[in-house]
Structure 1
């Protein structure tokens, strides 16, 4: 295969280092936490590396026709999204640091005024890169597992499985030894993520915290086993993969837009938690090519490059991965999934990728509600009610009779008058005298309130009559 060129990229990155927090082992509901300066530095360094690879016009992986880093940020070519859970700002802050690394301050960010004065943006030409904050209450794409009943049920089934029981028995002695080192947390295997997270955060940030040799590594291995089994699935479209399934519509749309030469989009960037990584690894089959079935480090990143080769009539997708600060550079891995066994080469034709992954994508809130068995949370009550109406329940309502239509017409006339009156009040053409009424109430005797109210009503009628006469 001849060498290809990069025409676009979809980047998925994990947030940077943070303080400890707790996840419910059953529902994965989380508590609040904060990013650290270390986490901000990790994300900036990731952004700087991505800048050198994809925004550097002299790099072999430079994205064709994207504004190079020697110029200024072009918002028509880039879309940035970050999970904004509302619990904390770790992911949003991480994203801000990463895009600062990619689009750094430049004196080219300036304007010359009519009087000849040149003004450079603050902080030496800081570039303000827009970040789309994805609120999980209104957008499911970056948090597919939250409030997903079927996902929680699958997690419970995993905890009740013979595989889990065997692993719990195998690790029982080690878990018992961890009691003095986990800050009072339960040392049950089901709580393994919280155990490891506490140990890891303390090891990084608490100089007085010490662990026996290899304890942190063993805890990481168990936590990785635990999380990978929760956030993956033996079925390609299984709910265990939902953390990436809800991201798929955006990812696939980005591929198609990048492949469309009339669309200016060149790069889509997503800042997320560790969970979609595991589902993505599982679905793309890169674990078979050497990507560990394990937790990814802070500031890890996947780049799905969209490439064009002279030997291919369509764009190709290439998988690149960097596991946090431990890896200096990105490594290319072959994907394997239904319709693509990985033996034909590392780069997958776009049509092959779309054919395999489009059926697994969760495209709408209604689809998510049905997959998850959710009826109330995250907009499901509204989505299901709308679907029920669209499917014919609305047709079961009685038709409006001529008499009813007459009443409806009269009601609409009254409603239109009231709306017009409201607009006039809003614009100040009419006034209810509310301000004057409140002032008079503060000094008037209680027994005179009715009289004053009638006076205000007379003011309204008088002003309305004056307006009507003026319009005649």
Structure 2
């Protein structure tokens, strides 16, 4: 083709609209903390810095005036609280991380956060215009009988089948083989940790607790004798981590027993519900919810990764995510947004999954990965919802079917009542997946109905729950507790 002809053709080509991120759902782990071997577990200054840095990155990505993927209508400097939904379990490490993350997302605004009073004087919010964004706390305390003695957080959730599935891991051939093959390995490291883990507890059974103890010491105890005359070589540290990964993956997910990953199923329902709420609102509606942020434990990451077949995209999804890791679901469109009074048609909307293992930053931005065994990283809204609905649990009926007729589900079965809904694939419903009736599913939280699903998710967000007590009691009972959550 002649150059002159090409120049004639080019103006006739349709202009392709740039991609717009309409909203996001962010699931985030806490920052660096003290070891779980000693209580109370607390967020460290390093952990707070990690959470702050992550919040700043998400601000520059989605909120700033010059953000690369600015969400239309989202407040830039002074938050509009209706645009945000931020939740965390009742846990000082997770809640503290969420609060510091929000400091990065909306930093102190200085004089922009001031108010002129009737007498003409000006008042600025404390700490140089600090932004007060609430973190909605949902209880992780189970109300079922004997919950304080349950090793599993699932044990207090009222999901009997999830408890049985998780416990069955300890009778599996995989677990028993690992327990036997690593016995010499863990015993050989007794000089490193025998003051915390005596010989009887130094085994694969406590793989995560041992790894956590050493990992924290390697970060914080420069003058410690933890190295114990060269016992902790790079190869040894690698094996400690991979064995902990193996142990926790076995507790979090089993491909033949989906109920084991109950927290991932609940998270999936909430993700679809939140994104559907954003999708159903007019683009120009400034009061609409545009960003949902939830802080939770690594166990929920693993459960969701297993259900969503994330390891098919990368083996890193088999491992315990690093401190301050985050995954984000972007609701995106290439449609024109000229009519801000209307919602974008669902058939013009897609969802992209991104994950950052560790603090999100320019050096470590969340990367896009395909889910559900697919090859594309961006899926149509209908495909995304269809795939999520294969394992999402967002109704009383689905919960009771998965967990069995015990606890509150026994009452539902006796009364012959149930609730069953699914996420809307066309975006016509503002609710998406129904909010379960508070106090029915799992009988684990006493929140208003509007928070029922969020409360349920956080109530089973971890894998284990133990009472904090003496050092040896913690080691003997369980390897995983963060003041009540597997974080």
TM-score by shorter chain over 0.5: yes
- The residue aligned with 1:76 is 82
Q: Which residue of 1 aligns with 2:136?
A: 132
Structure 1 pair 128–31 and aligned structure 2 pair: CA distance change class (3 A): same
Query: Which residue in 2 is equivalent to 1:120?
Result: 124
Equivalent position SS for 2:348:
coil
Is the contact between residue 268 and residue 304 of structure 2 (CA under 8 Å) also seen in structure 1? no
Contact persistence 2:161–2:259 (CA under 8 A): yes
The 1:103–1:92 alpha-carbon spacing in structure 2 relative to 1, beyond 3 Å, is same
Q: Which residue does the alignment assign to 1:232?
A: 253
Structure 1: which 4+ aligned runs deviate by more than 6 Å?
Answer: none
Q: Structure 1's 168 and 297: CA in aligned 2 closer, same or farther, altered over 3 A?
A: same
2:106 is equivalent to residue 103 of structure 1: yes
| Shift in CA distance, 187/149, structure 1 to aligned 2, threshold 3 Å | farther
One of 267, 271, 293 as aligned partner of 2:295: 271
**Counterparts in 2 of 1:192 and 1:326: CA distance versus 1, 3 Å:** farther
- 2:36 is aligned, of 13, 18, 21, to 21
Work out the CA distance in 2 between the residues paired with 1:326 and 1:316: 23
Partner in structure 1 of residue 54 of structure 2: 46
Contact kept? 2:326, 2:359, Cα under 8 Å? no
Q: How far is 1:54 from its partner?
A: 1.1
Aligned to 1:297: 322
| Matched-pair contact (CA < 8 Å) for 2:31–2:47 | yes
Q: Which residue of 2 aligns with 1:94?
A: 97
Q: Distance in 1 between matches of 2:396 and 2:211?
A: 33
Q: Residue 322 of structure 1 contacts residue 330 of structure 1 at CA under 8 Å; is this kept in 2? A: yes
Cα offset for 1:217? 2.0
Deviation at 1:287, TM superposition (A): 1.9
Q: What CA distance in whole angstroms lies between the structure 2 residues aligned with 1:386 and 1:373?
A: 11
Determine which of 250, 259, 277 is the counterpart of 2:279. Answer: 259
Take 1:146 and 1:102, find their aligned partners in 2: how far apart are those partners? 35
Deviation at 1:21, TM superposition (A): 1.6
Counterpart pick for 2:310 among 286, 289, 296 = 286
| Count of aligned pairs between the two proteins | 368
Deviates more, 1:116-125 or 1:237-246: 237-246
User: 2: CA distance between counterparts of 1:114 and 1:153?
Assistant: 64
- Shift in alpha-carbon separation, 1:48–1:374, aligned structure 2, 3 A: farther
Which of 194, 197, 201 aligns to 1:184? It is 197
Distance in 2 separating the partners of 1:102 and 1:51:
5
Matched, 1:336 2:371: yes
- Indicate whether 1:245 and 2:281 are aligned: no
Deviation at 1:134, TM superposition (A): 1.1
1:38-84 CA-to-partner distances (Å, cap 9, x unmatched) read 2111111111111111112212211122111xx30111111101111
Q: Which runs of no fewer than 5 residues in structure 2 stay unpaired?
A: 1-15, 145-151, 337-345, 419-487
Unaligned regions of 5+ residues in structure 1, if any? 23-29, 393-472
Q: Name the residue aligned to 1:355.
A: 386
Report the TM-score when normalising by structure 1: 0.72
Structure with greater Cα Rg: 1
Cα distance change on mapping 1:21 and 1:265 into 2, 3 Å = same
TM-score norm. by structure 2 comes to: 0.70
